[in-house]
Amino acid sequence: GAVVSQHPSRVICKSGTSVKIECRSLDFQATTMFWYRQFPKQSLMLMATSNEGSKATYEQGVEKDKFLINHASLTLSTLTVTSAHPEDSSFYICSAPVTAQETQYFGPGTRLLVL
Amino acid sequence: KQEVTQIPAALSVPEGENLVLNCSFTDSAIYNLQWFRQDPGKGLTSLLLIQSSQREQTSGRLNASLDKSSGRSTLYIAASQPGDSATYLCAVRTGNTDKLIFGTGTRLQVFP
């Protein structure tokens, strides 16, 4: 099956700093990638759709200036949490769809802790 | 707005039991439904994908059914094992997009 990687797997940062999370499709190209957020013992909430070569589409209630998304190539999307605060601490997961298989492949996730 | 709910939220059983996990969705106009497994602190692994025109899918000890008209799906796990312990998530895809709407999850623990 297709493989999606994320980097870093976990990050601890101070409040007010920015953190960049990378999502890569390793053996296929993805014109679209999805970014999810998951709080402890809760389900995945879609934050935004990352579109290669164009602006990301954000879900209702997600601040686009807070969560910057860049999809500069067909295999890489980045999520930058700007001016992070403790309430941004969460598990961030990306996914990339493989249209022919009608499914999405998920990265292993990035755990962010903001102190 | 599509809402996906899973019951029970948590389940703890001795190994060997047959299990049924439930998923319900409010808008029956789905494209497909998928069941995923998530181990603690990890990403998601797809278990079964059911197209809107299908009634069920099977893979090994897993069987997923879909009743689109009533907005329900079940995941049946036969002869459960401790290695089945994980969180199980169902997700629906609606319309012509790749977006997935996830359920609330069922945390399963199978003890020896």
Tell me the per-residue pLDDT of B28-79, one tens digit each, with 9 for 90 and over: 999 999 999 999 888 899 999 999 999 999 999 999 999 999 999 999 999 9
Q: Judge whether A60 is closer than 8 Å to chain B, CB to CB.
A: no
CB contact under 8 A, B44 and A106: yes
Q: pLDDT for A57-105, tens place per residue?
A: 999 999 999 999 999 899 999 999 999 999 999 999 999 998 777 788 9
Contact check, Cβ <8 Å, A46/B101: yes
CB proximity A112 to B under 8 Å: no
CA torsion sign, B56 to B57 to B58 to B64? negative
Find how far residue B69's CA is from the centre of its chain.
Answer: 17
The whole-angstrom separation of Cα B69 and Cα A33 is 30
Average pLDDT of chain B is 94
